Amino acid sequence: MTTVVHLGIDLAWSHRNRTGVAALDSDGVLVASASVRTDDEIAAFVDAHARGAVVVAALDAPLVVPNATGQRPCEAEVTRRFRAFHAGCHPSNRSWPWFDPPRAEVLARRFGWDVDPATPPARDRSVAVEVYPHPAMVTLFDLDTVIPYKQRGPARDVARLRIALGDLLTQMEKHCEDPLRLGSSARWAALRRAVATASRKVDLRVVEDEVDAIFCAYLAWRWTCRSRAGDAWLRVVGDARAGYIVVPEPPAR
C-alpha cells in the first residue's frame, strides 16, 4: 500500500521571513511541525517526513500567477465571497519580484508536485494545491469574522494577540482533533505553552506560522478526502491556467 503524507506549508513570500511547515500521516494525525526560513530547510523537512511517499501538499501561497499586473480572478472571487467575514485576498502579480516566479511554484517544481487541482493524488503522483486558511477557518469554525491573531498595526498588543492566537488553538482543538489528534501531540502542547508565555510579538509570530502550517496540512487531508470519498467541502475557485485557490463555501448567513 502506498504511503500518503499530508504536508502544510505556510509559505513566506520573501526568503527573509519565516515559513511554517507541518506533516500529517496517512490518517491525518499530526506527526511534526516546525518554523524554518530557507528553501533548503523546507526541502529537508519534506525529505525527513515524506521521502518515498505520495505527497498531498497544501500551500498558503500563490502557486500559479500568470498575470503581469493587478490581481488574479480567483483572488477577486474569494474576496467577493468572504469580504463580509473580513477574509479577503491579497493581490498577486508578476510585477512583484517575489512572484516572478512565485516561490511556491519554484518549490513545487523542485519536489515534482503536480499543481493542477484537476489532478487527483495517485500511487505515483504527488500533488500540491493553493489554499487560504482564513476563509477555511471562517467556514469550519462557523465564525462571523476572522480570528484577529495576525500582527497588523501597533494597536494589536501582545496581550490581545496572545488571546486571539489562543482562541485559534482552541477552535482547532474543537474542530480538528479528528484527525489531527492534537490532544496527544507533544508538539501541540509545546505550542500551547509558547503562546501562554509569550512576552513579545516575535515569539507569537513564530507560533502563528507553525499553527497556520498545521491548519494547511489539515486542508491537505481534506483535499485527499475529497479525491477519495467525494468530500465536496473544499471547492476550487479558478483553474490551473489563470490561478486558483481551494476554499470551502462561506457560512450560510
Q: Which residue has the higher pLDDT, 136 or 155?
A: 136
DSSP β-bridge partners for residue 237: 245
pTM of the model: 0.96
Averaged confidence pLDDT in the chain: 94
Q: Give residue-wise pLDDT tens across range 69-109.
A: 999 999 999 999 999 999 999 999 999 999 999 999 999 99
- Residue 151: per-residue pLDDT: 67
Mean pLDDT, rounded, for 45-70: 97
Q: Give residue-wise pLDDT tens across range 214-249.
A: 999 999 999 999 888 778 899 999 999 999 999 999
Confidence of residue 15 (pLDDT cuts 50, 70, 90): confident
116, burial (CB in 10 Å: exposed 0-12, middle 13-18, buried 19+): middle
Q: Which residue has the higher pLDDT, 24 or 252?
A: 24
CA distances from 179 to 32, 130, 252 (A): 14, 21, 25
Whether residue 35 has pLDDT greater than 90: yes
Mean pLDDT, rounded, for 2-7: 92
Confidence of residue 1 (pLDDT cuts 50, 70, 90): very low
CB 107, CB 60: distance < 8 Å: no
Confidence of residue 16 (pLDDT cuts 50, 70, 90): confident
Q: Give residue-wise pLDDT tens across range 103-131.
A: 999 999 999 999 999 998 877 899 999 99
Q: Which residue has the higher pLDDT, 43 or 156?
A: 43
Report CA dihedral (224, 229, 234, 237) to the nearest 10 degrees: 90
What share of the chain in percent tops pLDDT 70?
Answer: 98
Mean pLDDT, rounded, for 18-33: 97
Q: Which residue has the higher pLDDT, 13 or 193?
A: 193
Non-local CB neighbours of 80 within 8 Å, separated by 6+ positions:
none
